[in-house]
Structure 1
Amino acid sequence: MQNGNHQVRTQEIRVSSEVGSLKRLLIHSPDRGLGKVVPSKAQDWLFEDIVHLETMRKDEYDYYVKILLYFLDPDKIRGKLAEINADSERNFFKPDHPDYFRSDAVIDIQHLLTEILADEVIRTRLISGICAVERCSFLIQSQLYTYDPVELSKILISGSLPDRTMLFAPLPNFIFTRDIGIVINSHILLNKPAKLARTREAFLAQYIFFYHPLFSKYRDKIIEIPDNEHHFLLPDNEVSNDYSRSTLEGGDVMMVAKNHLLIGCSERTTLYAAQQVIRLLFDKNVVDKVTIVKIPKKRDYMHIDTIFTQVKRNVWVLLGSLGRTGDEARKRDLLHFLAPKDVPDDLRIMQFRKGEEQKPVEIENLEDLLTAISRDDLGCTEPVRFIYSGNNEFPFGAREQWTDSCNLLALKDGVVIGYDRNDKTLEAFRQAGFETVRAVDLLDRFERGEADPETLENTFILLPSAELSRARGGSHCMSLPLLRAEL
């Protein structure tokens, strides 16, 4: 399958940790649909706020892409930054631009969609399926067939025609590629979104993973989560029922070690789905240990990667109120002894091992779980350290967690990228021996030869975030790693 002079080849897919050097990932640069979100529908479309698209794209997200390219595919960008930055109108980072960088390591999902739409059979099926989901008229369906693959991919994602006419709702959450799926060793787990607003995302992702040549060697390793066999008989008001509905999003799944997967049960991922994933992974011998982290069903948290992520083999960032310090505070409250164990706001951690599914082990708190991962699964001999959101100071822990202080993407062991606005958390990182550096300054150092991604250590790269943070997702959410080096 070709696009111009570029040919996408089947490439290795394997992820067995959160901090092995990142080699390939899926992203989605902000599209015109984000500029179409209206206040009255923002909550329904699962977007937290109204953003300024051009600022988000050119002043913030583009720095994310530049950093990713410098680490994963430096030949695409080294020595070219001055030329790119000089042309403010140049949309170098969108797949529809003639100068799009076309990297085999930093891959925009829109680019993959464009390539599969070049196939007439796939194009026909996809248009028909989307129009059925969106309840389009036959006239609109016929009109969609007239667009070339480049424009059609933009329409299917943004929901709007080139003349700005809106056909259906945009997909503002598509920038959070983590949620559409997750690579578990060499298998791909596809999501089942909890909210109707993300149905089209899941549909597009399904076609891309099953039909794009990039994934052709892995089609028999794609895992789809089954529904309850009688799901169609369940009352409509039970769409998020933990014990009967199968919904899961990638932000609730972490591949922390070759043998160990974490699944969060949250407002978006049900216990029923987690149970199905455990059964499938054990049956296929993909992992032999799965830990369920049940977090409060609150919009504040949404997924487990909003309350903790890994920074280094022996370093984690997390929200203290859901960790050991918060647990100790609750225990000092006499009401803790009277409350039932399974109150909705409680955090519980249960670990299941293959062959011993009926004998799960309960883990007392997040720090104990994360310490065991670093020490036992990753073989870390150094002391395990925790960096807390807001430096564990009230009210900054909760404030900064809301703007994704705990949602960091590790580019390599000890080098992460995240938002620049969480001052107290950044102070905690500096106290822990990390350098904090603005993305623009680090890129300048790379261009001048004063720094090198290969030798960079213990660094937090600061991404501009005035608009990005309004979307309620950080750098971890904005990435779907396809390949990491083995630790």
Structure 2
Amino acid sequence: MTPPRVDSEVGPLRTVVLHRPGPELERLTPRNADRLLFDGIPWVERAQLEHDRFAATLERHGVRVLLLADLLRTALDDADARERGIADAVDERVLGRELGDGVRAQLTAMGPDDLAEVLIGGLTFRELGDGHSSLVRRMHGPDEFAVDPLPNLMFTRDSSIRVGDHVVAAAMGMPARRREAALVALAQRAHAQLGGVPHTDPRDPSPVEGGDVLLLAPGVLAVGVGERTSPAGAESFARAMFDAELAHTVLAVPITQRRATMHLDTVATMVDVDTLVVFPEVLDSLQAWTITPDGAGLAIAGPEPFRPAAAAAMGIEELRAVDTGPAGVAAEREQWDDGNNTLALAPGLVVAYERNTTTNGRLRDAGIEVVTIEGFELGSGRGGPRCLSCPWERAPAS
């Protein structure tokens, strides 16, 4: 059998990994939401309903949906995987050695289902078993976390990056998300099919997140550099891609470091083999540094305007852009609501949030078919359909 591959953003989608939001969202409060990177407190049951409808939409279009929590529960049947998951969750810098040992023992005694729930949903000091006498415990409130929850886990695009026949380990830029990549890798590697996919690690832990990586064409990658991915992370990622022969060109694209533009895919996503949807405020200002292998080093050119640089690397005459109309209040509102964060099901066929009526209308006017989903609660963590999905297999785009 041909190994599963992902060589573009728009090839017909065959298999995707999603995470259905669960108890981890119930941990969010006005007191901790900002630290955990949410702008509001989601209505959990509604978020789950919207996610179920999103998954059903994908399945109706012939996409096989794998749920991350199911993968994790299977992984935790393995003793080594359990040990790794627990080791990642117990932070002695926060808990101290003695309480850390107690928490480890409590997690080790759990079955796979309960352990998976804690690794995703966290553990409060109130929920610790008896017998843990500790200054750390006494000085924390009962509803503070001994193990942090992972409410951003539903944004599966960020924590692992599929390129070619490899999966690339992400290094998360924000403290609230740093455990996600290890947990996702643990779940993937224990799966009968997913576990056979080679893993590639960048050479250093400088942050690089999947939301900043666009597969423009086979061998051509764009990496946003901003709030979540550092210049060092982009360079390390490029070296890893060249060493594994997964890319011949990487474009490093600076983006404004602010909440509404945290990743490159919040301002631009591919909707066809030669077309992207883009926030009009950055349409003409996006720049790119072109990185190519040069023996044992790197050749770096630029900066130059992003679209011409991308078109040249992709071997096409022009990278077409669909914007959300004149820059202004309407475009800014749709940008905040993830209007430019679409998931391609096939060339010229994308999933988008229904609320972004202006963006969706302009896409349709440009010949792109748009399938809409609800995103009133799913979007409260600032992520659209692309953020919510990690493609595991796509057919060639042409």
Partner of 1:35: 26
Local SS of the residue matching 2:252: strand
State whether structure 2 residue 8 is matched by structure 1 residue 69.
no
1:289 deviates by: 1.0
Taking structure 1 as the reference length, the TM-score comes to: 0.72
Partner of 1:476: 386
CA distance in 2, matches of 1:417, 1:351: 30
Contact 1:323–1:365 (8 Å) recurs in 2: no
Contact 1:363–1:369 (8 Å) recurs in 2: no
Amino acid at match of 2:9: E
Partner of 1:196: 175
Contact 1:15–1:484 (8 Å) recurs in 2: yes
| Distance 1:29-1:287 versus aligned 2 partners, 3 A rule | same
Equivalent of 2:148 in 169, 193, 215 = 169
1:323 deviates by: 1.5
Unpaired stretches in structure 1, ≥5 consecutive residues:
1-9, 74-104, 228-244, 328-346, 434-457
CA distance in 1, matches of 2:384, 2:351: 9
In terms of fraction of residues, the more strand-rich structure is 2
1:137 deviates by: 3.9
Alignment map for 1:309-328 (pairs within 5 Å): 309-324=269-284, 327=285
CA distance in 2, matches of 1:199, 1:257: 29
Amino acid at match of 1:47: F
Identity of aligned residues (%): 30
Contact 2:339–2:359 (8 Å) recurs in 1: yes
Equivalent of 2:308 in 364, 368, 385 = 368
Partner of 2:287: 348
| Distance 1:472-1:146 versus aligned 2 partners, 3 A rule | same
Amino acid at match of 1:141: R
Equivalent of 2:372 in 457, 462, 471 = 462
Contact 1:311–1:415 (8 Å) recurs in 2: yes
Local SS of the residue matching 2:259: coil
**Structure whose CA Rg is larger:** 1
Equivalent of 2:221 in 261, 266, 271 = 261
CA distance in 1, matches of 2:231, 2:274: 29
| Distance 1:270-1:412 versus aligned 2 partners, 3 A rule | same
Contact 2:283–2:323 (8 Å) recurs in 1: no
CA offsets 1:240-293 (integer angstroms, 9 cap, x no match): xxxxx7111110111221121111111110111111122222223221111111
Local SS of the residue matching 2:229: coil
Aligned pair count? Answer: 375
Amino acid at match of 1:126: G
Unpaired stretches in structure 2, ≥5 consecutive residues:
128-142
1:11 deviates by: 8.5
State whether structure 2 residue 117 is matched by structure 1 residue 157.
no
Equivalent of 2:45 in 45, 49, 54 = 54
Local SS of the residue matching 2:338: coil
Equivalent of 1:290 in 239, 250, 254 = 250
| Distance 1:216-1:428 versus aligned 2 partners, 3 A rule | closer
CA distance in 2, matches of 1:264, 1:470: 22
Equivalent of 2:3 in 3, 7, 12 = 12
State whether structure 2 residue 366 is matched by structure 1 residue 432.
yes
CA distance in 2, matches of 1:279, 1:288: 10
Alignment map for 1:114-263 (pairs within 5 Å): 114-132=73-91, 135=95, 137-160=100-123, 167-218=146-197, 221-227=198-204, 246-263=206-223
CA offsets 1:412-453 (integer angstroms, 9 cap, x no match): 1111111111122123123324xxxxxxxxxxxxxxxxxxxx
Amino acid at match of 1:108: L
CA distance in 1, matches of 2:176, 2:307: 34
Give the RMSD, CA atoms, in angstroms. Answer: 2.4
1:39 deviates by: 1.2
CA distance in 2, matches of 1:11, 1:122: 28
CA distance in 1, matches of 2:380, 2:357: 17
State whether structure 2 residue 396 is matched by structure 1 residue 405.
no
Local SS of the residue matching 1:177: coil
Amino acid at match of 2:370: F
Partner of 1:88: none
1:384 deviates by: 5.2
CA distance in 2, matches of 1:271, 1:299: 18
Contact 2:275–2:322 (8 Å) recurs in 1: yes
CA distance in 1, matches of 2:348, 2:211: 21
CA distance in 1, matches of 2:246, 2:375: 37
CA distance in 2, matches of 1:121, 1:362: 46
CA distance in 2, matches of 1:160, 1:152: 10
CA distance in 1, matches of 2:256, 2:267: 11
Taking structure 2 as the reference length, the TM-score comes to: 0.87
1:167 deviates by: 4.6
CA distance in 2, matches of 1:409, 1:299: 21
CA distance in 1, matches of 2:194, 2:308: 37
| Distance 1:153-1:353 versus aligned 2 partners, 3 A rule | same
CA distance in 2, matches of 1:215, 1:315: 30
